[in-house]
Every structure is written in C-alpha cells, then in structure tokens.
Amino acid sequence: MNHPHPNLSTPPALVDGGLRIVALGGLTEIGRNMTVFEYKSKLLIVDCGVLFPEDTQPGIDLILPDFSYIRDRLHDVVGIFLTHGHEDHIGAVPYLLRERGDIAIYGSALTLALITAKLKEHRISPLTREVREGGTEDIGPFTLEFVAVNHSIPDALAVVINTDAGRVLATGDFKMDQLPLDGRITDLRTFARLGEQGVDLFMVDSTNADVPGFTPSEREIMPALNRVIASTRRRVIVASFSSHVHRVQQVIDIAAQHGRKVVFIGRSMVRNMKIAEDMGYLHVPADLVIDAKDLDQYDDNVVLICTGSQGEPMAALSRMANGDQQIRVGEGDTVILASSLIPGNENSVFRVINELTRFGAKVVHKANAMVHVSGHAAAGELLYCYNIVKPKYVMPIHGEWRHMKANAELAIQSGVSRSNTFIVDNGVVIDLINHEAEIVGAVPVGFVFVDGQSIGDITESSLKDRRILGEEGFISCIVVIDSQSGKIVAGPDIHARGFNEDAAMFDEVKMRIEKALATAVADGNNGTHQLSQIVRKTIGGWVGGEHRRKPMIVPVVIEV
C-alpha cells in the first residue's frame, strides 16, 4: 500500500456488531468518491463517482473505483446513497449497476433526476428512493439520517449512519455559504444536535482545508460577472460544469438584466438545465432561452452557456478553441471560465485559453477576475464544524494528501487527539466497534480505466506503452535468416514512426545488427526469440547512446 500504511495486511473477519469502513476511491485524489460500509453482513455504498484522466493517461476517458472488493458480495449491497449530483460522486453508478441492476439508489430529488437521466443513456432503469433533509431511512441494518448542506449544486446532503457500533457523520462535499442563492444553508443546528448526542467518526470534505479563512459567498461573484457581461461588445461565452445550477442561474439573471438571449451548448448542459428548470431549481424568464440552431437569427446580443471549463477535449469550449465547433470565437467576444482548476487539468485549460486568445477573444477566469467561488469549505469553516460536532475520531475525505493532512491538523487544533485522526489511502480498512475505531488492515484497490467500450482492460503497463509511443516514438526491425546456416537472407529492414525517419540514419545500426547476429549464431544462439532480443538490445543501445531516446522497439526475426 502507499505511504503512510505500507505494512498493512489483509484485515481479519469483521467482529459481530462491528461497523467496517473502506473507501474504494476519493482519498488522496479529487474524484471517484466511493465508500463501503459493512454492518451485520450487509453493505451500504455512499457515492460512486469517476475520476478524470491526467495527461499521463493518454486515451483514457474515465477512471472508475475498483469494485473488486465487493464484486463477490454484490448480493449483500442494501443500497447506494448519493450525496449530490456531481460526476465525481455519481459518474460510476452506471458501471456498478451493469454488475447488479436492482440496487436501490437513495438521494435527493435533483440528485436522483440527474442520475436517472445519466442511466437512461446507458439503457438502465434504476430503482430510486427519494430522501429529504431532516428525514431518516432504514436501509437494511443501517439507519440513515439526512442533513442539508450547501454546495455548488442544489440539494446536496450530508449523511448520518447510525448503528449499534457507533455513529458516523459524512459531510459529502459542502461549504457554509451564509447567503446562498437558493436560501438553503448548511444545517449547523443539526450538526450541533448530533455533536450533543455524540459523533464517533466524522468524515469531512478536505478539498479546501489548506485555504485559510472562509470560502466567499456565491453572491460575491455577481458584480464581476455583471461587469464583464455589461462591457462585452459581442457575444459572451460562459463555460461551467453542466451541473452547476447556481452559477447558471446567476448568468441567466445577469443576461436578462442586459437584454441578452441565452443559449445552452453541449448535450449534458442542455439536459441538466432542462431537468433543473422542470424541477423548479432553475428559474428562467419566458422567451429568454433560444435554441442553438436559431442563433443566426439574432445579433451578437447573446450569452452562450457551455461545457468545457476543465479543457475536456470533446466539450463545447475545447471544440470552439480548436475551430471545429459551429460557433466561431473572435474579436470582441468574451469567454468566462466560471470554475476552478481541478488538479491535473491545468495544461488542457491553459491550451484552451491560449487558443481562444489567439482567435481574438478576451478570456476571463478565476486568476484575473472574481468569476468563481469554490463549493468547498475552507479552514475557518472546517474549524467551526469540528467545534460544533466535537467528534471522537476524524477521517478526512475528498482530497489529495496535502488537503487531507491540512484537514487532520485542523481537527487536532480543535481538540481531537492525533491518534484519533486517520489520514488513509483508498483500500485502508477502519473498524468501528463499540464506539472505538482503529485501522485493521488494507484491501487491494487499483485504477479501473475506461477506454471507449473497454472497461478495466487497459493496465498501467499499457499506459506506459502509450506514453513511450507518444513521447519517444517507435522503431520496428525485420530480419529474415536461413534456418540452416543462421545467415541473414533479407534485411535488416528498419521502419520508424515519431522518431527521426531518415532511412540513411539507420545504416550504422544495420551494420551493428548484422555483426551481433553473426556473433550470436556462431555462439550457437539460433532461436528466433533469442535473436529478436539481440536485435532489440542492439537497436536500444545504439538509439540510447547516439540519440538519448528510448523508443518502443519491435524486432521481428523470421526463419526461412
């Protein structure tokens, strides 16, 4: 296992009446949140999200949690509870339901509407159970209580998991905006009541734990958005997450104020905003929104709201930056990136910003204007929560190592003992028995890569090959030898791609190959496998020494 638990062994069987907690994703990373709770031989899953690939994972579409820990026990799963509707919390549900389709999904109204629409695209009809803040639900042997929390999407919920072994409070993603656009604040009164009753394990969002103070209110970005939209001569293009209903509401309100029509661009944006409007979470004035195909009938007095704020290659904004979208960006247009950078996406986003700027657009983003606030609690808010909840044990979740470590330090400052804070990696097993928690072992968890239709077939070794091909190039060498004498009959023929492809350059190494093969045959090495390894080694030594490169080398030795 990764630091700091390298010596953990397979956990023992869970004792009767104990509660076991295993995160299969979401720790030491921003994404693929999924935690499994086991109690009385039954499993409860909280969240089931995806992680988006980095530049070092070429060709990968999505990364899923590793279901292998529960694969043999899917019949024991009593339900999935989804804290809110963001992709990093719901995106892997279709892949889990492919393995067992009748697992009941619990969540708030908007969360269930978003996951149902996603599952429809996968041709899956889910069993859904709507829950509300203040409500409780018995799911198998677990008693769940739901608490309103404020986040960058409406209808987010924290969850209390009550068992005889102890009480767990998991925040999901949250912040403490005191003036939220929808008036729905994080329910600190319930947090305080739970604190009075006693919280054994507090699982807390860590994303902004290393940011001092308080996360600004959503309302504070209104003046900046208003200023940018008011001062733009031509079109305004706002890129946002397709689930960020609050941000879209702000843009709609400002567009209406300035007499601009609004167009939604991107399949997920159109779908999610229709759901949000139908359910009353998004308020759109009559005749404000027009269809993208009718854009030509209007002058430049429009605001386009699209996907692609993270530089995703297939999203609408990236395609505009590449010039292969029907909407052409140019002089006088302003593009607003209304989001923060998810770690790992920086290069993709800066590439999009550069291309849009090259076309003449003005690009406004978090670094040069107040056009985004985070959906996650900063250090000041987290300290408030620790003082209110007064948990016995703390487990930072949802963050990279630096975020989780910062979160643990806040808990310790507020009075939680250092030995009662668990900074753990995915797969580490924590048992809560009779209100006492401890780390008891670890189970193997890996990355499951989605590449087109293939799920889990791509390995780290395949990705290494892709990186070598992308960065170092490819050389193949074909040699035909006489099966009796071992002498070269034809070749060596060398072909290169993504490397210096000047054929004359390889004359020197061809002579080296001929010499190495002659020596090998004289020494009695005449198997095609052995000879092909000699060819590989000879080319590798030459290309490394002469060119300081390590291309992929494919030697083929044929006997005739």
pLDDT band at 70 (very low <50, low <70, confident <90, very high): very high
Q: Are 213 and 380 in contact (CB under 8 A)?
A: yes
Q: How long, in residues, is the chain? A: 560
The structure tokens 């599952």 sit at 119
Task: Give the dihedral sign, CA 376/173/451/316.
Answer: negative
pLDDT for the residue 387:
96
Pick the CATH number of 460-559 from 3.10.20.580, 3.40.50.9100, 3.90.245.10, 3.40.50.970: 3.10.20.580
Q: What is the DSSP string of 372-399?
A: ---SS-BHHHHHHHHHHH--SEEEEESB
- pLDDT above 70 for 3: no
Kindly report the pTM of this predicted structure.
0.80
In this structure, are strands 428-433 and 19-25 parallel, antiparallel, or unpaired? antiparallel
Q: Are 193 and 388 in contact (CB under 8 A)?
A: no
The span from the CA of 86 to the CA of 26, in Å, is 13
The number of angstroms, rounded, from the C-alpha of 357 to the middle of its chain's C-alpha atoms is 27
The structure tokens 């250090």 sit at 379
Q: Please, what is the Cα angle at 184 between 182 and 189, to 5 degrees? A: 165
pLDDT band at 276 (very low <50, low <70, confident <90, very high): very high
Q: What phi-psi label fits residue 543: left (phi over 0), alpha (psi between -120 and 50 degrees) or beta?
A: alpha
Q: At what angle do helices 401-413 and 379-389 cross, to 10 degrees?
A: 50
Phi, psi of 519 (to 5 degrees): -65, -45
The counts of H helices and E strands in the chain are 15, 25
Q: Which fold has domain 19-214+374-452?
A: Metallo-beta-lactamase; Chain A (3.60.15)
Which residues lie closer than 8 Å to 115 by C-beta, 6 or more apart? 82, 85, 90, 93, 105, 107, 126, 128
pLDDT band at 218 (very low <50, low <70, confident <90, very high): confident
Q: Are 14 and 43 in contact (CB under 8 A)?
A: no
pLDDT band at 464 (very low <50, low <70, confident <90, very high): low
Of the spans 2-16, 290-304, 434-448, 449-463, which averages the highest pLDDT? 434-448
In this structure, are strands 34-39 and 42-46 parallel, antiparallel, or unpaired? antiparallel
Q: Are 69 and 445 in contact (CB under 8 A)?
A: yes
Identify the bridge partners of residue 62 per DSSP, sorted by sequence position. 450
Q: Which residue has the higher pLDDT, 254 or 459?
A: 254
Calculate mean pLDDT across residues 470-486: 71
Residue 51 buriedness (CB in 10 A; 0-12 / 13-18 / 19+): buried
Residue % of the chain over a pLDDT of 70? 88
**Which among 422, 442, 423, 434 is positioned nearest to 22, based on CA atoms?**
442
- What is the tens place of the pLDDT at every residue in 514-532? 777 777 777 766 677 777 7
Mean of per-residue pLDDT scores for the chain? 85
- pLDDT above 90 for 460: no
Question: Half-sphere exposure of 271 toward its Cβ, with a 13 Å CA cutoff?
Answer: 15
- pLDDT above 50 for 187: yes
User: How is residue 525 written in tokens?
Assistant: 């090495």
- What is the tens place of the pLDDT at every residue in 82-113? 999 998 899 899 999 999 999 999 999 999 99
pLDDT band at 2 (very low <50, low <70, confident <90, very high): very low
Calculate mean pLDDT across residues 43-55: 84
Identify the bridge partners of residue 555 per DSSP, sorted by sequence position. 477
User: How is residue 176 written in tokens?
Assistant: 């403490």
As a whole number of Å, the end-to-end CA separation of the chain is 50
Q: Are 375 and 153 in contact (CB under 8 A)?
A: yes
The structure tokens 């689930």 sit at 243
- What is the tens place of the pLDDT at every residue in 136-180? 999 999 999 999 999 989 999 999 999 999 999 999 999 999 988
Which residues lie closer than 8 Å to 483 by C-beta, 6 or more apart? 559, 560
- Domain coordinates of the chain in residue numbers? 19-214+374-452, 218-364, 460-559
Q: Are 123 and 157 in contact (CB under 8 A)?
A: no
Q: Which CATH architecture has domain 218-364?
A: 3-Layer(aba) Sandwich (3.40)
- pLDDT above 80 for 240: yes
Calculate mean pLDDT across residues 46-67: 75
In this structure, are strands 142-148 and 428-433 parallel, antiparallel, or unpaired? unpaired
